[in-house]
Structure formats: structure tokens, C-alpha cells
Structure 1
Amino acid sequence: MTPQAPSTQDLAARTCEPCRGGIPPMDRAMAASYLVQVPGWVLKEDPDRIERDFRFPDFAQAQAFASQVGTLCEAEGHHAEIRYGWGHCTVAFWTHKIRGLHENDFVMAAKVNGLADAPYVPAAVGTEPPPYVQEG
């Protein structure tokens, strides 16, 4: 019997467990079972990783989101590959020590989804911009 992934709420509520290496990465079948719990993320190869592209109406909001993701990653001790530019921010997770996917990657994806679903309010402006436009 193949183990099932926890629900999205369960994933987002977890904290990343330190990965010391020396364990095999998650196989693609298990990764696919976790993937359904993190809407918008896709499974990529070389290395096996999960990735999501977020869309924004301008550069400032994409940059602010990238910064929020970076702050979250630092707090959790599990770091993303973050690329952003005008109107987009792409976030990717994989566990470098095992050169593949670990449950921590999906925990972080769920937490990043939570950031994207939260309203963004620029510090210098008292009004809320349009919600994040998400591709995926």
C-alpha cells in the first residue's frame, strides 16, 4: 500500500525537519501524491523539484513577494530557488543534501501558497493592491 500525503492544512502547519542527508529522495510516485496537496506547483526534473510561477501586476509586488518567500525560507531553515522580474516570481524547492525531493519541500510549498493567498499591503501605501494573480 502506498502511503498518502497529508492534507494541505497539515503540510502548512508543519515545520521543516532538518535533513542530514544520507537518505534517498522521494520517488516520483510519492511526489505526485504530495503534489495534489499544493495547488499550482508542478513536478520538474534534473534535479527532481517542485516549482510554481506566481504573476503580479508590476515589478514591486513581484519583488515584495520574493522577499516574503525569502524571509519564510530563512525562518524555516529550508531555502528556495527564487527568480523574479517584472510581473512574475518563480519559486522552486528541492532538498540539496539528497539531490531530490523530501516532505520538507512540500511543507514549504504549502506555506508559500499561504503567503500568496494572504492580502499584500505595501508598507508605504495604506491601500491594498489587487490580489496576486497566480498562474498555474
Structure 2
Amino acid sequence: MLEELRCEACGKEATPLSSKDIELLMTEIEGWELIEKEGVPQLEKQFRFKNFKLAWDFTNKIAEMAEEEFHHPSIVLEWGSVTVTWWSHSIKGLHRNDFICAAKCDQLSP
């Protein structure tokens, strides 16, 4: 299972995932959308909460996990929701690390 894996170092020499690999890994995470921003494929999901405090707490959990994995997402915190977006900046695309961290986010959500 993806959430049990650890991120690996991903430098500019790493190869972005192929469309086929992305399609396969998308079946292992639930509710995540494959989006494209400025030509870069990304994973995005909005998590809903009853209030700002619960959303804030979740944001902090994601930040702690991201530091542990040394892989950092875009996080948008709003009243009652948190939108998380993963992609690998160094390769301007998706890497297995993005899917690992998406799966870990799902495990952190209440």
C-alpha cells in the first residue's frame, strides 16, 4: 500500500511518471483529481471539515508528514476545507512520491 512507503530523493535527473504509470497509480488513491496547471500534471483533493479549527489541525498534520517525507505540497486552508496539491517541482511532473504522499494525506484525514 502506498501509505506504507517512504519518499525517495527526487532530483532533476528523475523521470516523470508515464501516462500509463499515472493511470495505474490513480487506482490506488481515492478522490484525488489529476489536474494540469501551467502544463504540469498534479494531484489535487479537497478535504471538508465542520469548522476552521478542524481544517487547521489537518493542515498541521499534513505539514508534519511533508517534513518527515521531505516532499512538500501546496496547501490551501479555508473555513471548512483544505485543498492539497502534490507534484514534483524538480521534474515539473508527477513522481511516485506524489502518490505516496496523497495516500498518506488520506490516512491523516478524519
Pairwise TM-score range, normalised by the shorter structure: over 0.9
**Structure 2 unaligned residues grouped into runs of 5+:** none
SS class of match (1:78): coil
- Indicate the residue corresponding to 1:67 in structure 2: 60
**Structure 1 unaligned residues grouped into runs of 5+:** 1-9, 118-136
d(CA) in 1 for partners of 2:28, 2:85: 16
* Higher helix proportion (structure 1 or 2): 2
4+ residue stretches of structure 1 with deviation over 4 A?
A: none
Q: Is residue 19 of structure 2 the alignment partner of residue 28 of structure 1?
A: yes
Q: How does 1:96-115 map to 2 (within 5 A)?
A: 96-115=89-108
Q: Greater RCO between the two (CA within 8 Å, min separation 6)?
A: 2
Q: Is residue 87 of structure 2 the alignment partner of residue 94 of structure 1?
A: yes
d(CA) in 2 for partners of 1:24, 1:13: 22
Which of the pair has more CA radius of gyration? 1
Q: Is residue 10 of structure 2 the alignment partner of residue 11 of structure 1?
A: no
CA positional deviation for 1:95: 0.4
CA positional deviation for 1:84: 1.0
Alignment TM-score, normalising by the size of structure 2: 0.93
Cα-to-partner distance string for 1:45-78 (whole Å, 9 max, x where unaligned): 1220101000001011111101110010001101
- Indicate the residue corresponding to 1:125 in structure 2: none
Alignment TM-score, normalising by the size of structure 1: 0.76
How many percent of aligned residue pairs carry the same amino acid? Answer: 35
d(CA) in 1 for partners of 2:100, 2:22: 12
* Higher strand proportion (structure 1 or 2): 2
d(CA) in 1 for partners of 2:64, 2:104: 12
- Number of matched residues? 108
